[in-house]
A and B are shown apart, each in its own frame.
Chain A
Amino acid sequence: MDPFKTLEIEPRYDLDLAAAEHRHRELSRALHPDRFVGRPASERRLALSRAIEVNEAWRKLRDPVRRAEALLDRLGIETGETSGAKADPELLMEMMEQREALAETRATRDASRLAELTSAMQHREKAVIASLSSTLSRDPSAAIPHLAELRYVRRFLEEASAVEDELL
């Protein structure tokens, strides 16, 4: 399923997220199950599946990793994590170290250290997204390593967020 097609917006990485959200709202107004109460079962089922598609499309497009995957999918470029693209060993090493540091803050419940790690990684996320965006517009097939790096960064941030939940 192509989320750009579902929301009928121009496929590009540096999306106007506010405009895309507005589009999601417009479609939700037309398709939300609440609009189909008291309608025949087939219409209700159909509207439900369309509403799910619209929500799913918006969920994909607002996520920088899944948005890149959707763009590459359109171009027929394999994006799966097993797509053969070898991970940069240097990046792997670095990420392992970062995750060890994260595990440590979890054990010591060190909130300020966690905030440092998170903020550093958020800066990096911005930089990776910028390079991913420019590669995607010039040479999409060269975007895979950037996408791989973004996945690592995002996964780290997700884990950091889970640790933050524990410390709240």
Chain B
Amino acid sequence: MTLIDIFDPKAAPKPVGIDLGTTNSLVAHVVDGKPRCITDCDGDALLPSAVHYGEHGQVIVGKEAMRLAATHPRDTIVSVKRFVGRGADDPETRRLGTYRFAEPEGDADGKVIKMHVRDRLVNPVEVSAEILKQLKKNAEGALRNVGGAVITVPAYFDDAQRQATKDAGRLAGLEVLRLLNEPTAAALAYGLDGHKNGTFAVYDLGGGTFDITILLLDEGVFQVRSTGGDSALGGDDMDRALAEVLLREMGFPEDAGRTPELVRIAIDAARQTKHALTDRDVVEVELPAKGGATVCPRITRAMFEELIVPIVDRTGPSCRRALKDAGMKPEELDGVILVGGSTRVPAVRAFVKRMFGTEPLGDIDPDQVVALGAAVQADLLAGEGNADDVLLLDVLPLSLGIETMGGVAEKVLPRNTTIPAGARQTFTTYADNQTGFEIHVVQGERELASDCRSLARFTLRGIPPMPAGLARLEVSFDVDADGLLHVSAREIKTGIEQKVEVKPSYGLDDEQIEDMLLDALDHGEEDLAARRLAEQRVEAQRMLMATRQGLEVDGDLLNVVERAHILAAIDALDGAAQGTKVAAVESGIAQLDMLTKDWAGRRMDRAIAKAIGGKGVEDVARSVEGAGGIEAHLGSEREKG
């Protein structure tokens, strides 16, 4: 084992929290127990989520990209989050905007959006990765070495949007510890700050997404009761509504004659006007008009507020539904937390006050609160903070279902189910000797599968040939703590695990991600191999450390033979991790993993017993025999009764 050298010039990796926003992105970390946003060289915490693709392949992210958006509207991608995990056929891609979307090349190409920038095609995952890379660079400037990252997503993001975000993190070279829901992150920033207890609503209106979450804070437990929202509603819509007005003033009432440059100028002016109207009643905007003249329309706050009424009102039904799902009335809430830059708009604050009947809380900067909460969570996950005190229980935002005969979506997991969650469903074959099966997974609340969001088609193969109706396929749908779906299947009669092939409806498959990784690295294959070795070494170190710690704490749960095997595997893995062969490290990990599997189960039983409390060592000892300690306990209770 290598000793940690305190003079090592390479600093210890520090975990970070990232808010990957529609308009702005931030990175934060915890110093001396307090989360802080990391600023760039100009002292700004907000990085505009704009990516400019230059003439010679250079990529510019942030303020400079935002400036270039006016002159190069098609080669500068802003608000890319609105396209993440969406298809080219999505109405969202057809709204007022300036991009050149590429037509998908047949079915094999999937439905992932691609945009022409300069002489290349980029997808939203790649664009998001550029923003993440810039944040990582800024963080490295402050921390030298960046460890794992918690990246936030809107609570209402579906599986495809979450997966795309995670893929972007991977592409940016970040170890994604967790995808955290933005409202939960905000509550974490508030909850730990004020040690508040009670039920809170988090009203999060960002640049392009709206979330409403009702959650219970109780002595460090953050339990989400319900969540709702709209993943395509936000400040952007206000900008676009106002931009329409400005374009009319500029002499372009119709689409005809509007160039991408003019549209960009109008949208930028609209955003600046919106910001100015937060503190002022009237703003005069100078704009280029048709024929080279200049116009200077006066926009009053009253005009603006009237313009955005339909947008703000759209958040109402989601709020009412979230309250209903949580079984709460507005007056029962202990407070409302405001998140997202769009909650600075006075009309939005007034709406929230009317809806919930209380003055909303906004003492933490609504632009920063999510990143700060994410940093707290990253710190806890990396084992730096006091993780025992905090527990985040999040929920599935949208029901998961499968398409049945007749195109009806049958729900397997309803919305607002606490995650991680799982459901099992049994299927049978309908033809003799049928060896394959297709399952269409959808997400949403509508009755027909075609009205829900298509997530993926899973193909099961290798079912042993049997007469129709005899094979019994048990399919497990597991949703992990990130809100991501995993599907596995087995044939019950034979117990054979079935191979599940996933074809994401909107996402990228592993191969495509791998190709993108190759493209992104300077020396392709070579760099990728080096990266894989580094990753496997980290995993090996992690495993060695965990196993050694486990031996100290729970070594008594092993018999002599098991212990000897594990010690040998530790030495073997330690040796392999010093070498340069990826395969050797991988097989060392697999070997140790296999040898510690049963032991891990016993340790888990012990942890459960400890959590429940009041159980003697005898009960735990019984679990060593492989029986569940809980079962043994209950069995004796039944005999008594």
Instruction: Enumerate chain A interface residues (CB-CB to B < 8 A).
Output: 4-6, 8, 10, 23, 25-35, 37-43, 46-53, 55-56, 58-59, 161-162, 164-165, 168
Contacts and interface: CB of A to CB of B under 8 A. Distances in A.
A165 B422 contact: no
Contact of B480 (A26, A33, A40): A33
A6 B604 contact: no
B593 A41 contact: yes
Most buried by A among B417, B422, B423, B478: B422
B30 to A, nearest CB: 16
Given A27-B608, A30-B610, A38 B383 contact: yes
B480 A28 contact: no
Interface string B178-215: 10000000000000000000000000000000000000
Interface residues of A: mostly helix, strand, loop or mixed? helix
Given A39-B542, A52-B421, A8 B596 contact: no
A26 B611 CA distance: 6
Interface residues of B, number: 57
B415 to A, nearest CB: 11
Contacts of B382: 37-38
B546 A38 contact: yes
Contact of A34 (B380, B607, B628, B637): B380
30 contacts: A23-B612, A25-B221, A27-B611, A27-B612, A31-B604, A31-B611, A32-B393, A32-B481, A33-B480, A34-B178, A37-B177, A37-B382, A38-B383, A38-B542, A41-B589, A42-B596, A43-B596, A46-B597, A46-B600, A46-B601, A46-B604, A49-B422, A53-B422, A55-B418, A55-B419, A56-B423, A59-B417, A161-B324, A165-B321, A168-B317
A165 B631 CA distance: 42
A41 B422 CA distance: 19
B161 interface: no
Given A30-B610, A50-B608, 12 more contacts: A25-B221, A28-B393, A38-B542, A42-B597, A42-B600, A43-B603, A52-B420, A55-B418, A56-B423, A59-B417, A164-B324, A168-B317
Contacts of B637: 10
B381 A34 contact: yes
Contacts of B324: 161, 164-165, 168
A165 to B, nearest CB: 6
Contacts of B478: 48-49, 52
Contacts of B628: 5
Nearest to B601: A46
A56 B421 contact: yes
